[in-house]
A and B are shown apart, each in its own frame.
Chain A
Amino acid sequence: MRNDRMRFLKIEKRENPSWKVIVGVSIVAILLAFFVIGFVFVGYGINPVKAYIEILIETVGNVYGLTQIIWQSIPLMLCGVGLLLAFKTSFWNIGAEGQLLMGAVAATWVTLFSGFPGFIMIPMIFAFGFAGGAVWGLLSALLKAKFRVNEVITTLMMNYIALNIVLYLIHGPWKGDEMRGFAYTNSFPESCCLPTIGITYIHWPTLLIGLLSICLIFLILTRTRLGYEVKVIGQSRQAARYAGIPYFRTIFWVMLISGGLAGIAGAGEVAGVHHMLRHPDQVSLGYGYTAIIVAWLARGNPPLVILTSFLFGAIYVAGDVLQLSFGFPFQIVNVFTGLILFFLISSESLMQYRITLRRKDD
């Protein structure tokens, strides 16, 4: 047993870490990540303190920065809360990125090729966006429930398939008329562009949907039968069997919603920000992957997704700031994200134990 090997420290299992401990530890994890990144700054000859101050000023310190954060956090919010639902049922949906892209594809089809009349364009964009992402997500659910194929593999691979579908479309059948070196589709007509707040990029319909989704998921998890079934399956499949909860039907609804929300995020990006379908790496700045940590950090509480998506939106904008002001590559954002995740999961593991000094009589 562990106790035997440590002579000075006593390690015992902590019963239920209080939320104070959880919050405190999460904050420490994030700060640690920032601290480590500081070293990378130093390696590049940049004063980390200066860099962080500049970041703070340009992100939360001025209105423009804030608006940047908000519009970047929209897809994170949508994907994040959808993933939160999936994770609750222990379905490892790594495919939000692909579901987002397929939502974007569906939305583009509606805009450029469906021929719907102008006044229903925007509702259709969202509806089809949802459908595109949902179908993409449901494929993985089917493969898991009926053929027992691990969802990590299927959702991941479908990301790359979606990516290539987009590439195919913008280089091929959907190639725009006014291409100039880079491939993209035609611009969306006015009726299909989402309204934004003033001169910012904030496409508020999507934001609204995002906030509503958070309320919806919260409601589902706390108040509905489906939420209950989701939670039991995530806990113990044996207990779920005992309770007579159908696995496939529950996963079906979960992935419908999770994929659908990511699809809406994709629709929002193309109809609200870019007004065209372009290279996948520009449509999604890795939102689908970052959303995994957004969901994780919210620790199963949908309202917290607002906070965590805001936090990572800020990190994205910080990446922009670093790029513009210091010539720093945007990829630093992934380093942040990776480090935060490392420290988070390590801290979660350590939270399970309480370390005290061993007394003589133990």
Chain B
Amino acid sequence: MQWETWVIETLRRALAYGSPLLLGTMGEIYSERSGILNLGVEGMMILGAFVGFFTAFVTGNPWLGFLMGALVGGAASLIHAFLSVTLRVIQVVSGLALTLFGLGLTGVLGRGWEGKPLRVSLPVFYIPYLKDIPILGPIVFVEQNVFVYIGIGLALILWYLLFKTSWGITIRSVGEDPATADALGINVSLVRYLCVVIGGLLAGMGGAYLSIIYRPSWTQGMTSGMGWIVIALTIFSFWHPIGALGGSYIFGSLFYLSFRLQPWVAPELLTIMPYLFTILAPLLLNLHKKMRRRMGAPAALGIPYSREGE
């Protein structure tokens, strides 16, 4: 019995810990599905974390914090979009620059705000009836903050959008074969810009979650590499929002476990788990050729597109 409650508690916490990862991953999925690799997630998340914290602190309104966090992430991503889509630079470098810039800028701006506790709260739910469903109930419907539900809801909406609507077909085709999409009259640049910005908005939102809900305060570098895990999760989830749900919560439970198992295992070694997973996931995927083709990366990912003759 004690084992069972332990598992349930882990999973319950996993939802909370995994939500910022979920938001970031869904955003990067959209960006990469359109063919643009954005390594700036870490930078966008930390920008969202600081701006979100700052806004919530100053206005006392956490929702505004989330909004501003998202917007700043979107604005930052525009830089990457411009460089990658219009100027067609090497996307790896542009994303790295964005991360460095974001980390640096928040380190500068955030000076003096460190350690100040944020006293705002978001509704936490104990949903009647649903919470009594065996196993699932205590995990999903007890003591979860609203953003967990927003995250799940977004995952479902974004999944539907990507796979069941005409916009989704367009986005995915642009990422697989921009030349063919272009020949059929689709504005490849516009689609890519939009997807990168969606990525930025969601990354910013994920970052804001960290500083408003997760640890209501601001610390320099508080994302501690979460942005990089998002990059890996994008692969791990097979570029699929529902996969992102599963993956984020797995990693969320890894995060939680790295706290919980501290009495028995050195915390630093536990912290390694997510990063190790991140390497193993594409490794396992690549072992099977057909899996790779079917569920692998968008074929044009990372390759700047220009019409022949330009």
Contact = CB atoms under 8 A, between A and B. Distances in A.
Q: Do chains A and B touch in the complex (CB under 8 A)?
A: yes
A307 to B, nearest CB: 20
Given A150-B282, A168-B269, A336 B104 contact: yes
Contacts of B93: 292, 296, 341, 345
27 contacts: A1-B309, A94-B96, A147-B283, A147-B287, A149-B279, A149-B283, A157-B232, A164-B268, A171-B268, A172-B266, A296-B93, A329-B110, A331-B107, A332-B108, A335-B104, A335-B105, A335-B108, A337-B97, A337-B104, A338-B98, A338-B101, A341-B100, A342-B83, A342-B98, A345-B89, A349-B83, A349-B88
B278 interface: yes
Contacts of B220: 329, 331
Sorting the interface of chain B by its residue count into under 10, 10 to 19, 20 to 34 or 35 or more gives 35 or more
B275 A160 contact: yes
Most buried by A among B92, B104, B235: B104
Contacts of A337: 97, 100-101, 104
Nearest to B269: A168
A337 B104 CA distance: 9
Contact of B104 (A149, A160, A334): A334
Contacts of A143: 279, 283
A346 B231 contact: no
A349 B104 contact: no
A335 B83 contact: no
A92 interface: yes
Sorting the interface of chain A by its residue count into under 10, 10 to 19, 20 to 34 or 35 or more gives 35 or more
Interface in A154-190: 154, 156-158, 160-161, 164-165, 167-168, 171-172
Interface of A: 1-2, 40, 92, 94, 143, 147-150, 152-154, 156-158, 160-161, 164-165, 167-168, 171-172, 289, 292, 296, 328-339, 341-342, 345-346, 348-350
A346 B79 CA distance: 11
Contacts of B110: 329
Nearest to A328: B108
B184 interface: no
B266 A148 contact: no
Contacts, number: 141
A2 B86 CA distance: 12
A113 B225 CA distance: 31
Contacts of B111: 328-329, 331
A349 B283 contact: no
B103 interface: yes
A150 B268 CA distance: 25
A73 to B, nearest CB: 18
Interface in B20-62: 39, 43
B108 A331 contact: yes
Interface string B266-284: 1011011001101100110
